[in-house]
Amino acid sequence: MALELFIPPCVHNPPHRLHSPPPEQPLRIQIQGPLESIHKLLPNELWHPIEPFPQPGGLKLATLTHWALYGGEKADDALAVRDEYLAWAMEGRRPLNHIDYYGVTFDHLVPADDPNPEVLALSIIEVDNDGGAFANKYLLFPVDPTEYTGKKVLVVPRCCQVKKGTQDRERCNSLVAERDNEIRRSSRR
């Protein structure tokens, strides 16, 4: 059974401007996390073998995230998926043939010619495999894993994480630009 993608309220008062984002604002959204947690959200998706960009599960993850942020219709074809991030599982220093961490970037109302939209970075936080140790170290609020196990998957915007993410916008937008160039190059071949 799929678990709910759960974004808790902002710890700041007043809440950070993009937590939750105003629906009318153009925004580039990046979500990433351990495949172990993504499996709980999308138990029927296969992530092996890796397909050309984007992974079918990436589109599903983007749709789920868009729905958690904005509600409305869950229609995957309406979303502009702009980039993805694959982290290969390692055995020592040798990469294996599958991934253990995945991220996807998609646009909400971003005009096609805007190279530098605002970016919201979201992290999927695994709480089951370490009793919440990672969550309690890297988030600005306490996490009780028993609230999540078997029920929901914790997703946290950058404003509620210890990491400040001052480079998020620049990094995310330059990765999208690189991806666009790559797609253009391969379509010319």
Instruction: Please report how close the Cβ of residue 100 comes to Zn ion at its closest, in angstroms.
Output: 27
- In the bound state, the residue with its beta carbon closest to Zn ion is 10
Q: Give me the torsion for CA of 159, 67, 80, 100, rounded to 10°.
A: 70
Q: 19 or 66, CB closer to Zn ion?
A: 19
Which residues of this chain interact with Zn ion, rule CB under 5 A? Answer: 10, 16, 19, 157, 159-160
Instruction: Please report how close the Cβ of residue 93 comes to Zn ion at its closest, in angstroms.
Output: 36
The rounded Cα 4 to chain-centroid distance in angstroms is 14
Q: Where are the beta strands (DSSP E) in the chain?
A: 4-6, 27-34, 80-91, 94-108, 119-125, 152-157
Rounded CA gap, 125 and 86, in Å? 17
Instruction: Please report how close the Cβ of residue 156 comes to Zn ion at its closest, in angstroms.
Output: 8
Q: 21 or 157, CB closer to Zn ion?
A: 157
Instruction: Please report how close the Cβ of residue 43 comes to Zn ion at its closest, in angstroms.
Output: 28
Q: 7 or 41, CB closer to Zn ion?
A: 7
Rounded CA gap, 142 and 132, in Å? 9
Q: 42 or 127, CB closer to Zn ion?
A: 127
